[in-house]
Every structure is written in C-alpha cells, then in structure tokens.
Amino acid sequence: MGVAALLLAALTAGCADSEPNANMATPTENTSGAVLAPTVSQPIADGKLIVAFGDSLYAGYQLGPTEGFAPTLERALRAEGIAATVVNAGVSGETTAQGRARLAFTLDGQPRKPDLVILGLGANDMLRGLSPQEARANLDAMLTELDRRGIETVLTGMLAAPNLGADYAAAFNPIYPDLAKKHGVALYPFFLDGVAGKRDLLIADGMHPNPKGIGVIVEHVAPLIAEAVKQ
C-alpha cells in the first residue's frame, strides 16, 4: 500500500464522523490563530539548538512531555553523539497561515539563533481543504524568512488524502519538493511515512502517532536531521 493510500486509511479511520474541515487537534486547542509562546529548553553548552516548528504532529498531541517528536529526536541525536537541544515549537491545529504569523516571534524567543529549524506545516490546510496555493505561499514566506536569518532548515512534507480529489492532490503534493528545491533545503517527503494507517502506531483518533509511532518517525528522519545539523 502506497503512502497516499495509507494516509487515506488513517484519515478515514480518524475522521469518519467528522466535518470536512476537521483539524489535527481538538476544538480546545489553538485552532483560532492565537500566537502562543513556544516551549524553550535550556540549550546544552556548546551544543546545537534545533527548533521543531509545526502542528500537532510535532507538538506531541495527547502524548506525555517526553514522548513527542522533539524530545524523542533529541534523545536519538544524543545517542549518536550529537549534543543538541530540540525545542518543541509545535502548536496543535495550526495552519500554514498561523505558522507564518508566529514564526518570527518563535525565533526571536529563543536564547540564540537556532542552528537548525525543522519545518512541518500543511496537514491542517489539507484536512480543511484550504487553498494549496495559499499553503505554498505561506511555506515559501517562512522559508524565505529562515533564509534571511541564515538558519539551516529541514522541511518535512505532507500528502493530500486521495478523497480530496486528483486536482487538489496535483496542486498540494508538489508544494514540498518544489519549495525544498527553490530554497535549497533538505526534504523529508512525508512525515507520517511508515506510520499512517497503522493502528498500532497511532493514538485512538487514528491520525496522530503514539509513542511507538513517534519512534518510527524519528528513526526515519533522524539521519537527515543529523546530517543537516552537522553542516
């Protein structure tokens, strides 16, 4: 089964009784566009400062404080001898427009310029059926800002669920490879690769990874992050 079909299975399982504009968050989370202060860890002396900037997939939705993407990635990097602090700057329910609005605030709130930003937004745009053109423009603007600040970036991508139609997929899916090429950043094409559609790797909503699923994601993406941060 391809990754797009796996994603469809995950979304169908998680959103069977939801409205078409369902988000990857609960209604009580930040779906209104409010700017929230990011979580900041104290960077290791002489170590790398990495900011994981995304939505609920990054934030660790319904997971414990040590179980999400950022802390799990931090442990994986340290196990490989890379002294790094990975800041969890994920906000559940966030769209690319909301991420664009808070990026500068988040970067300015760090104790120093990050050595690397991992950027992963667009899932909520896709789930709501928002304009792929606007998602592209917002991600492009964020990458431009990171370029301007001289911050190394890794972009993690998302795929459109097939039930949104071929036209939507044709407009949405190329966003990430196109922008990665334009800005010269590393790309991990599909953040949920190896996890989407696998019930044993997801929480009860069928959409978000559980701690085991986070482990699979980190196992896949950590080598790319390690290579980027060493640069």
Tell me which of 56, 92, 115, 193 is the catalytic residue.
56
pLDDT at 16: 32
Residue 37 corresponds to which amino acid?
A
pLDDT tens digit at each of 231 positions of the chain: 344 444 544 444 333 333 334 455 543 334 333 334 344 445 455 699 999 999 999 999 999 999 999 999 999 999 999 999 999 999 999 999 999 999 999 999 999 999 999 999 999 999 999 999 999 999 999 999 999 999 999 999 999 999 999 999 999 999 999 999 999 999 999 999 999 999 999 999 999 999 999 999 999 999 999 999 987
pLDDT at 46: 61
Residue 183 known to be catalytic: no
Residue 208 known to be catalytic: yes
pLDDT at 115: 97
- What are the Cα distances from residue 67, in Å, to 118, 132, 190? 18, 31, 20
Bridge partner list, 154: 118, 186
pLDDT at 34: 36
What's the pTM value of the predicted model, to 2 decimals? 0.85
176: CB partners within 8 A, 6+ apart = 122, 139, 155, 156, 157, 158, 187, 189
pLDDT at 230: 86
pLDDT at 33: 37
Q: Which residues of 59-77 are buried (b: 16+ CB within 10 A; e: fewer)?
A: bbbebeeebbbbbbbbbbb
Residue 167 known to be catalytic: no
81: CB partners within 8 A, 6+ apart = none
pLDDT at 25: 52
Tell me which of 140, 147, 178, 205 is the catalytic residue.
205
Name the residue among 56, 133, 64 with its Cα closest to residue 99. Answer: 56
pLDDT at 231: 77
Tell me which of 55, 115, 125, 208 is the catalytic residue.
208
Pairing state of beta strands 84-90 and 116-120? unpaired
**Per-domain residue ranges of the chain:** 3-17+33-230
Domain 3-17+33-230 has CATH 3.40.50.1110: yes
